Amino acid sequence: MEINDKLEQYYSKDLIKINILLNKIDNLKYEVEHGDTHFLCDISGVCEVEKVDDDADCDIGSCFFCGTELRRVNDDWYHNTAFDDNYHLIDSSYQTHNYMGSKAGQPRSVEERNLEDVEDELNKYNKLKIKQFALFGNPVSHSESPRIYNRLFVEKESLSSYVAKEVNGIRDIANQINNFDAVNITYPFKEVATNIVDDLTYYAEVTSSVNLIKKDGRKLIGYNTDGIGFSNTIDKLNQRILIIGAGSTAKVSAIVLKENGHSVYIVNRSQKNLEFFKEYGIHTFLSKNMPIEKFDIIVNMTNAGLEDNELPLEKEKLIELIKLSSKGIDLIYNKKTPFLALFEEYGKEYEDGKRMLLSQAIENMKIFFK
């Protein structure tokens, strides 16, 4: 996935410049600590000749102020390491006493001076606000989101941070949201979080759920990018897709998939929430009445397997569906769930939810920096 091309337009030149300077500072710090250091002294014209070297084309001396050992060639003084074993000048970049810096009298290296210059340039941006983003949910300690977003920020040289925050309810979300430029909302708060926003965008409104809230002036705007994030991971057109589960992610994903030309079917253990899908012309089944049919993709959008060994459907029925299917996707990531293990057992293609997480992050970043 080409991250840079998709996000290029969403970053200010100032943020890019700051990160270039930060990278340059890191490199200079390494040079100061580990490099072949070139010394300079801020005091000009206070070298004294200790003796004339009859065997070389230079005079031996030292800085009266800092004591640095020097040799003079054609009236210019150079650090001793600028000469070879036969005292021939081989590196004129080690010249001393020709730089009048801001800290007169302190012998420093060229690298130290360059570092100071870059740090001074960086200080011009010290009033620029660092953008801060977060994930609100419970639990969130397992989440890969901070690693993914912070990697994207680095790749785009954006001066931003992303953290996962465990919250205890809607009041907790309302109290903390103003500390961030935008927040992602995850289980179990996607529906209740709609109560604290001022406006909802289309997918958030039709599903009554949000996975992103962004400040726009004094308003809070609610978005739902789950559907677009998932749909972008479906590589082929006109797929026949069975979604297991009828929660908020299934709702928005089903709508977007149908809009993109796929045939979408929903199966759920209870009748609750199935009426929503019927309003959008999406086929629905109760688990107990699910017919054995061929699907291109079967998707688990339930929590079955997240913290247990449960399957989202009765095992025998699921096995028969898998035998006829081409691929399985589980939105749970970083583990092979029992659902995915069955696809592996029957030699079928499968993947966890990590690709959706990245796809969704890219969609969210467009909103973060719009």
pLDDT in tens, 225-260: 999 999 999 999 999 999 999 999 999 999 999 999
Mean pLDDT score, 47-73:
66
**pLDDT for the residue 121:** 79
Burial class (CB in 10 A: 0-12, 13-18, 19+), 208: middle
User: Taking all residues of the chain, what is their mean pLDDT, rounded to a whole number?
Assistant: 84
What burial class does residue 84 get, using C-beta atoms within 10 Å of its C-beta: 0-12 exposed, 13-18 middle, 19+ buried?
exposed
Q: Do domains 130-224 and 228-352 have the same CATH topology?
A: yes
Q: How far apart are CA 25 and CA 141, in angstroms?
A: 33
pLDDT for residue 39 is more than 60? no
pLDDT at position 44 over 60: no
Domain 130-224 has CATH 3.40.50.2000: no
3-state secondary structure of 348: coil
Q: What are residue 136's DSSP bridge partners?
A: 165, 185
Render pLDDT for 252-306 as a digit per residue (tens, 0 to 9).
999 999 999 999 999 999 998 899 999 999 999 999 999 999 999 999 999 999 8
Backbone phi and psi for residue 175, each to the nearest 5 degrees, phi listed first: -75, -30
pLDDT of residue 128: 58
190 is known as an active-site residue:
yes
CATH architecture of 228-352: 3-Layer(aba) Sandwich (3.40)
Report the candidate in 241, 220, 203 with the shortest Cα–Cα distance to residue 360. Answer: 203
Contact 180, 134 (CB under 8 A): yes
The catalytic position among 127, 131, 190, 288 is 190
Question: Does 99 have pLDDT greater than 60?
Answer: no
pLDDT of residue 131: 87
Residue 6: predicted pLDDT: 41
For the chain, the structural domain boundaries read: 39-122, 130-224, 228-352
Share above pLDDT 70 across residues of the chain, in percent, rounded to a whole number:
78
